[in-house]
Structure 1
């Protein structure tokens, strides 16, 4: 007789949480997603889905929907901040890694993931305040006084994860004196100007800016930066804080005319602190496990934060499908042992901000990864998750 499938609660309805809901439902697992927000908003930010994550989106069933509106860059292009000299360019046709490179608005990806989930499994306005593991399940307590019971819990609640605090203990974010500006705006504000049809990163001596279109018709443009900032400002990781567009332009004085054109056209921007966290000693405790930014938060410098969360979802579903409800804790340890070496490597490179800054390093280990078929850790490897 086949093992019974568990009922799993997912805390957090971001990219990782929704991807986990989709992949778990594909293997027959009942899920409910609990999200603290009262409603979903269209936060003004772009997102890159490189082949390693778009391959998972294909398996979830949202690739075609995204391709109807997303921009497909010609290449991953790296240029010198002032002269425009090419440091490295990697053309990225779909044939290179077997999946597309897509740039889009974050809300379009979020909507696509929501589209494959029944609305009734998403519970909004559910702010988690406690977890209680007892017997063969977990009780979740919410700020509104309600509770829920599940066979297991996945904490996909981001860099400020309460689930992480509850199972690992609170950890303080590390600030290294850097902030980011970002904006999505109408490309027509450039008055006929255009940027190259690539995802371009402009490398300065102590700062950079990444620019790309977020719509197939090139009607929307996005940029995100990394700039030194006195540490006294770097106190939070809020995506909603407004930035001063004049300060932003001043920070990129002397950059190439293409960068200046984009910044002059930008009507307003947001500003947030780039904070990091130390790698966690373990990702799970009993029947509670972490996913995505909750367990391996990353700087945005490799565009792999949401991507690795989406990879996590596919691998976690594979591990749980193999055990049903018989050994959830073992499945969680296998998932961690399967994922931690890769995510730790990406975390370290992203923190150093050296990816594709020059040279000819191999990119296939990153972009060619297939979370649906990558080898899973064997029993002897589970010490990695200890």
Structure 2
């Protein structure tokens, strides 16, 4: 329910923030998204969008557009990274919607198209925000400012909104890095090997997840999880190399060696975590996604949890109206905390789908079929 007078500010135009923007606009709310990047570009890497997310995209008419540009694997295969033996063969169909793997930049472009032009303002790095009781004042690095009825912090693990609520605290380095590389399918043709649509190669203490990112199957992407004793670099990532990859996966299966040989450019990213937060909201400010429950990417559900958060938050605000934001935020956290915590725990453990199991608790989940919980009256 929207009064038409509220102004909802979303900090961050990543997958969770853009989903919140589109869903809230669809519900009739006045939304503005502030993104620190100077412009939109096809940056990033591959990403999984499971049936639990496609059910949300159906609500804003985006699901078929995503399917049309994505790879839609029928199975998730897990294989022993050394021997190649199959550990599991998990169906990805039968959960009420399609399973997609796609380039993050292509997904972001679709999300931008679901919102009213001008919704996203770029080059807006948040430097200060203050909840003065009647609204929230936002100040940006470029000298501009804005006011909003409520603020949604979708600004990632280093969230400025989280810092405002809970104080400055660096995230914890997990002891793992992820290597990322995009390989053209053309480069793989020289190898007389089978490259499956979606497969995770498991070693004793490391892994490599590999999948196509387009419906044309012309991009094959891998992301690793490799122990690394310390993160000694500034910035979000550093360049890696074929040589470093070859050393990290020495003795592994010929398919892994072929992927490394076909790699032109590979980057290395530190994986960070935070302890569970004591609160998800305060006053007129609320958090979603990595801003409140970051997780290792080993389950391919981090972005999905942000998008599920966005859907439940939009549901709660539509139920109460933005003027009763306190109730909406309480219902949102009560309805999402257990689910997000469960996924965070399993993802950090890095066991999901390694052996044959039923993933319906993840993929069969429908945020719109879930009750809105109010634990304050339980």
Relative to the length of structure 2, the TM-score reads 0.95
TM-superposed CA distance for 1:146, in Å, is: 1.5
Residue 276 in structure 1 maps to residue 268 in structure 2: no
- How far residue 24 of structure 1 moved from its aligned partner, in angstroms, is 0.4
Q: Deviations over 1:195-253 (max 9, x none)?
A: 444310011001000001111121111000011112153x56614x2112210122111
CA–CA distance in 2 between the matches of 1:170 and 1:205?
A: 36
Q: In structure 2, the residue corresponding to 1:64 is in which secondary structure?
A: helix
| Residues 1:106 and 2:104 aligned together | yes
Asked if the contact 2:78/2:354 (under 8 Å) is kept, the reply is: yes
Alpha-carbon shift at residue 272 of structure 1 (Å):
0.8
Establish whether residue 149 from structure 1 lines up as the match of residue 186 from structure 2: no
Distance 1:21 1:31 in 2: 6
The alignment partner of 1:201 has SS state of strand
| Pairing of 1:290-305 with structure 2 (within 5 A) | 290-305=287-302
State how far apart, in whole Å, the 2-side matches of 1:88 and 1:379 are. Answer: 38
Equivalent residue runs for 1:238-317 within 5 Å: 238-239=236-237, 241-317=238-314
Report what 1:211 is aligned to.
210
Counterpart secondary structure, 1:120: coil
Corresponding residue number in structure 2 for 1:55 = 55
Question: Given the superposition, is the C-alpha separation of residues 229 and 215 from structure 1 closer, same or farther in structure 2, using an over 3 Å criterion?
Answer: same
Offset of residue 380 of structure 1: 3.1
**Cα displacement string for residues 319-346 of structure 1 (whole angstroms, at most 9, x for unaligned residues):** 0001113310110111011101010111
**Deviations 1:294-343 (Å, cap 9, x if unpaired)?**
11111000001111111111101000001113310110111011101010
C-alpha separation between the residues in 1 aligned to 2:53 and 2:246?
Answer: 33
- The alpha-carbon distance between structure 1 residues 216 and 359, as it changes in their structure 2 partners (threshold 3 A), is closer
- Residue 68 of structure 1 and its aligned partner are, at CA, apart by 1.5
Q: Partners of 1:288 and 1:173 in 2: how far apart? A: 20
- Partner of 1:198 in structure 2? 197
1:178 is matched with 176
Match of 2:359 among 363, 367, 370: 363
Root-mean-square deviation (Å): 1.6
1:87 aligns with 2:87: yes
Q: Within the alignment, does 1:372 sit opposite 2:368 as a pair?
A: yes
CA distance in 2, matches of 1:21, 1:232: 34
Q: What SS does the corresponding residue of 1:68 show, helix, strand or coil?
A: helix
Contact 1:75-1:91 within 8 A present in 2 as well: yes
Q: CA deviation at 1:153?
A: 0.3
Q: CA deviation at 1:79?
A: 0.7
TM-score (norm 1): 0.94
Matched, 1:164 2:156: no
* Alignment partners' CA distance in 2, 1:181 and 1:258: 17
**Alignment partners' CA distance in 2, 1:41 and 1:176:** 29
Which residue number in structure 2 is paired with residue 133 of structure 1? 131
Q: Which residue of 2 aligns with 1:43?
A: 43
Aligned residues: 376
Q: Which runs of 4+ in 1 moved over 6 A?
A: none
Structure 2 runs not aligned, ≥5 long: none
1:78 is matched with: 78
